[in-house]
Amino acid sequence: MSSPEPASVPTVWPGTAYPLGATYDGAGTNFSLFSEVADRVELCLIGKDGHEHRVELEEVDGYVWHCYLPTVTAGQRYGFRVHGPWSPSSGHRCDPSKLLLDPYGKSFHGEFGFSQALYSYDLEADDPVSGGEPPRVDSLGHTMTSVVINPFFQWGSDRAPRTPYHETVIYEAHVKGMTQTHPAVPEELRGTYAGLAHPAIIDHLKSLNVTAIELMPVHQFLHDHRLLKLELRNYWGYNTFGFFAPHHHYSASRIAGGAVPEFKTMVRAFHDAGIEVILDVVYNHTAEGNHLGPTINFRGIDNAAYYRLLDGDNRYYKDFTGTGNSLNARHPHTLQLIMDSLRYWVLDMHVDGFRFDLAATLAREFYDVDRLSAFFDLVQQDPVISQVKLIAEPWDIGEGGYQVGNFPGLWTEWNGKYRDTVRDYWRGEPATLGEFASRLTGSSDLYEATGRRPGASINFVTCHDGFPLNDLVTYNEKHNEANGEDNRDGESHNRSWNCGVEGPTEDPRIMTLRGKQMRNIIATLMLSQGTPMLSHGDEVGRTQRGNNNVYCQDNELSWMDWSLAQTNADLLEFTRKMVKLRKSHPVFRRRRFFDGKPIRTGDQIRDIAWLTTSGTEMDYHDWEARLGQSVAVFLNGQAIDAPNERGERVVDDSFLLCFNAHHEIQEFVAPQGDYAQRWTAALDTADPTGSSDVVVAAGEKISLQPRSLLVLRKTA
């Protein structure tokens, strides 16, 4: 720590209250910070030698403190000291001994050193909750610093792909995990934005016909002290404190502020390849945690404005997320920060959409989730945010937090019911066939009432949160011992099935079954109406060795193992074939819901028909049957009612999908009548690469292998 040096303070102009944060205009920099509770605010300029120069912010407009420094340019490190009340019982936690990071900071530099310096309460106190006076240990030198960035970038002819939902295939990935072991990515670029933009990675995604990459959190985040003590790290990144800044550890550039142009270059490379960039964003909580967390920025700037405090005892935080705190989306300045951040990522960083972690938390105005909350209203009317992809994880851990199907019309949702139903179907769990039919056809029961289309259903079976696909068919139980929590963390009800043996095995029978189950799930995902999402590595059979919660495993357990692309080449080929089949046939990616009903009358062939194994249309009793029964579905390529983008009628081949989740061979009869005279196999999950030469005429029998899916195309 060093004391201020008034003689070195630069020329100070009044500046403007907006934009908030540090804004370099090519000549100087405007600084602006909101704090309603502050009595005084100091801007602290930090030299490369660590020395600090404090500038008193004397201009205040609407609780926004600001100045303009004509001599400060990009690369300058800075922070704030906020003087105000220390009264935890009233919800106020101002502590000017803490160098506070800019909530609007576009880049950060340095590292955190966890010690008394980061905490405003006495770590040795008998009662740290009530606290008394804080120890006032200066955090300079123990915390990161904010960095003024150069906002100018040569985007050239960059254009957003704007892929419609019905043509979208999402690939969920982690910046570091995706690139850390790839042999074609230069070592110095592995684990970085530049590495992710490498042609080898982009070529892999293009070979899968992926149209969007959904990146796990890249907002600047904190590695928890608890994890660091265990020699673990906050790998997933769901611990944000900088909502405007790309995480600096993912930058190949070590220059302060270098992550920003590197991220932009990555986005431009993806756009050149026709791939959208979607960010997984965490606006439901921050890295400061609960009342025993460090003072990094929001807490010391205006605790009561930024956080939901516990009714009746403002010493504590409301926690809808299990992370210690929840952002106060009821406060206008917190809402402004969220919206300003979203617009920044779209307008300045050119991203194409967002997946909102635990999005139900953002909707909580009081106790219950409110579909008409202020946040949703703002998004609806915002001319920028309303035009990009908005994906909700529609749940949090609070009461009433499971809100699948209840988000407004602009939003799409991770469909947890799709995940559960598909898992249950292929492991032979009893459930109603109607549920499976609904999920396969776009979940109209969840989305049609709000005017949404099938694309609103983000269909997934695996994601970062849980088992990868290989582990889903290899383990019945979680094996999270490596996380240091005695296997207590993670989900215990995985809806997984180990196919007879827990963990790896050399038994060829079980290995064959596991391979078939993986193909069944990938095929079902790509044949379902809605927007499919693949989890990175599932296409090559990535494993986490039974760990279903690798949030803290920044190592080979969670990274992509690219050698599997050769080891499991058949699975990779199958996945490519499956996604290509979907891309080639609009009947699998309809813009509108099916008109046909599960049970129909008359002889008219509608857009969809559900058939028994005998080739007859299903009746009421068939629908009441328990899952585990085999079923076929006819998709009529001549009955697609939605036109293409030029208003032309869409005509496609017709298909018969035969599902057999039974453990025995099942005989299917090709339906007679107007369905087709002849069917030719387009794909069979019983084969490692999906190949099949089956040709069957109407009325003939087809033998389906146990636990397999056969796709037949009408050829006459």
Compute the distance between CA of residue 544 and CA of residue 560 in angstroms, rounded to an integer.
10
Residue of 172, 214, 262, 357 marked catalytic: 357
Q: Is 701 left (phi over 0), alpha (psi -120 to 50) or beta?
A: beta
Both structure tokens of 547: 């760990």
Q: At 4, which amino acid appears? A: P
Residue 317 contacts by C-beta under 8 Å, 6 or more apart in sequence?
290, 291, 307, 308, 309, 310, 324, 325, 326
Task: Quickly list DSSP for 452-469.
Answer: --GGGEEE-S--SSS--H
User: Nearest Cα to 605, choosing from 593, 614, 613, 617?
Assistant: 617
| DSSP H or E run through 667 | strand 666-669
Question: Cβ-count burial of 116 within 10 angstroms (0-12 exposed, 13-18 middle, 19+ buried)?
Answer: middle
| DSSP H or E run through 272 | helix 259-272
Q: Tell me if residue 340 is catalytic.
A: no
Cis, bond preceding 19 (omega within 30 deg of 0): yes
User: Nearest Cα to 42, choosing from 100, 1, 117, 86?
Assistant: 100
Three-class secondary structure of residue 69 per DSSP? strand
DSSP 101: P
Between β-strands 77-83 and 145-147, what pairing exists: parallel, antiparallel or unpaired? antiparallel
Three-class secondary structure of residue 40 per DSSP? strand
**Sheet of 40-46, strand order:** 52-56, 40-46, 77-83, 145-147, 108-109
Other CB atoms closer than 10 Å to residue 91's CB: what's the count?
A: 20
Q: At 362, which amino acid appears? A: L
Residue of 42, 95, 276, 393 marked catalytic: 393
Q: 128, 93 in Cβ contact below 8 A?
A: no
User: Nearest Cα to 99, choosing from 297, 303, 298?
Assistant: 297
Compute the distance between CA of residue 63 and CA of residue 301 in angstroms, rounded to an integer.
11
Three-class secondary structure of residue 539 per DSSP? helix
User: Nearest Cα to 393, choosing from 442, 362, 360?
Assistant: 360
Three-class secondary structure of residue 582 per DSSP? helix
Q: 6, 15 in Cβ contact below 8 A?
A: no
Q: 148, 108 in Cβ contact below 8 A?
A: no
User: Nearest Cα to 350, choosing from 282, 280, 408, 277?
Assistant: 277
Q: Tell me if residue 556 is catalytic.
A: no
Between β-strands 276-281 and 353-356, what pairing exists: parallel, antiparallel or unpaired? parallel
For the chain, counts of helices (H) and of strands (E): 16, 29
The values of phi and psi at residue 623, to 5°, are: -70, -30
User: Nearest Cα to 551, choosing from 619, 630, 484?
Assistant: 484
Compute the distance between CA of residue 38 and CA of residue 306 in angstroms, rounded to an integer.
14
Residue 9 contacts by C-beta under 8 Å, 6 or more apart in sequence?
53, 54, 55
Compute the distance between CA of residue 390 and CA of residue 388 in angstroms, rounded to an integer.
6
Q: 101, 146 in Cβ contact below 8 A?
A: yes
Compute the distance between CA of residue 258 and CA of residue 229 in angstroms, rounded to an integer.
29
Q: At 337, which amino acid appears? A: L
Task: Give the residue numbers annotated as catalytic, written as ranges.
Answer: 357, 393
